[in-house]
Amino acid sequence: MAVRVRFAPSPTGHLHLGGLRTALFNYFFARSQKGKFILRIEDTDQSRLVPGAVDGLIRDLEWAGIHADEGPHIEGGLHGPYIQSQRTTLYRDHAEDLLASGHAYRCFCSTERLGALRSLASRTGQSTSYDKHCRHLSSTEMQNKAASGDPYTIRLKVPSSPEATTIHDLVYGSTTFMHEFIDDQVLMKSDGFPTYHLANVVDDHDMKITHVLRGEEWRASTPKHILLYQAFGWEPPQFAHLPLLINPDRTKLSKRAGAMFVSQLREQGFTPQMLCNFVALLGWTLPETMVEVDPKPTAIANALQDVFADLDSVVAAFDLSQVHVNPAVVNMDKLGFLAKRHLRMMHPGDAEYVAALEQLNALLENQPWFGDLPIKPTPTEMQAAFNLAKDTYDSLQSISANLAFFWQNPPTDSIQCGGDRDVILTRVNVLKHVQKLMHQDVSTPLTAQQLQTFLKDVCKSLNIKPKVGMIAMRLALTGSQSGPSIAKVAEVLGRDTVLTRVQAAIEGAQ
């Protein structure tokens, strides 16, 4: 049987890291098995729906490079509709089948009674599971209540025999759950909508799902789902639960803590490849054969060679046996590290390079200085600036915040930054000597090598450290003491702009 997996989010907000990880692992598994990846929207909890959330989920998945084979946004699916609220008749019919077969029963308990039961159980330290009151009503009592119009839910009748259900998890192995500790779960709510438990089982069967990959928090519910499959007489799919995501302090990851939404991280300048690289390593180990080798490795790079180029490069190597059991720590510093390595390894023409440039342009539109430019940078200028900046900064956002000097002159007094009068005079002296050397040949383009030679000769003649000369040029050209190679910056700016800024810095020191 062909592999079919699904990602089934609820449209209650933005796609978060945990959801992206679940979608990504399903996508990897489907592609590695030459199977199908289905997107299904589970919107049965109507009270929590957020307008526009479905479109946002689809947009985030598409941006991340996770393309569904079937879903609400794709025409021609054989197992639609792919939105649960459009499938309610199917769930009601199956719930009635369970009632008829004796695997479920109507529960007429009011919200007040159930609340009182939970409150009492909490105070006395007892289980908050339903007390099965309506399970023991006679057929006549149930019929009379239903005929009187009393509202009811439909609950699963957990069998007392056999006494236990064993689930076989592709990640966690086999676990046995005793039926006495399994609640008679609500399957259909009084508003006519199914709960997750009924809807996901019916849908997974109807859509011919072969493998269910989902978060570890659903592991405890799996025996209920197995019981439902048995009640219907269906073959259950194989289950693989993914480890919890936790904060560095070992607390459970919260959707509300920090920038944990895909849209937020996109706005911060992380490319799809950076983010998916980071998320893929949350509970999964990258095979050594897939590691990208940096041509100039460092100690950190040698310790964390966890970079892959794109999603397709992972597909062939993805194996559920490499998914971890222990919780995965979400360390945003690791994302920054991976982002910097991705930036360093980009090359003009690469898919990620092209996507990064497009994203950088969008980020620049939000920079106040960018809007003040009388003439917007050309694509060639943007590429030249990006080629320099990508080896210095950690993300596209930091690049966009630090590119102004390529098109805006720095403050004329920037040469005075962080220096006393003697330091400022030394810097001015450096600039005057460099200026003189640059005027000797104004007919040829300025090169990085040429400026390095100028600075080396000037520093030697003035008997100062090369760093002092570099800082003087950097402040004059960029207004900052840090950034990309100043010699390469000068080459991109060109001789005329460099001479103009050097002269302005000399005058600004007076």
Which positions are annotated as active-site residues?
A: 255
Range 301-320 burial, b when 16+ CB lie within 10 A, else e:
beeebbbbbebeebbeebeb
Of 35, 100, 104, 42, which Cα lies nearest the Cα of 70? 35
Task: Kindly report the three-state secondary structure assignment for every residue of 390-403.
Answer: CCCCCCHHHHHHCC
* DSSP states of 121-143: HHHHT---S---TGGG--HHHHH
350 Cβ contact partners less than 8 Å away, ≥ 6 residues apart: none
Contact between residue 280 and residue 27 where contact means Cβ atoms under 8 Å apart: no
From residue 323, alpha-carbon distances to 171, 286, 326 in Å are 7, 10, 9
Of 341, 328, 248, 316, which Cα lies nearest the Cα of 280? 328
Contact between residue 2 and residue 254 where contact means Cβ atoms under 8 Å apart: no
Whole-number Å distance between alpha carbons of 146 and 352: 61
Place of tokens 């897939």: 290
Handedness of CA 63, 64, 66, 71 (dihedral sign): negative
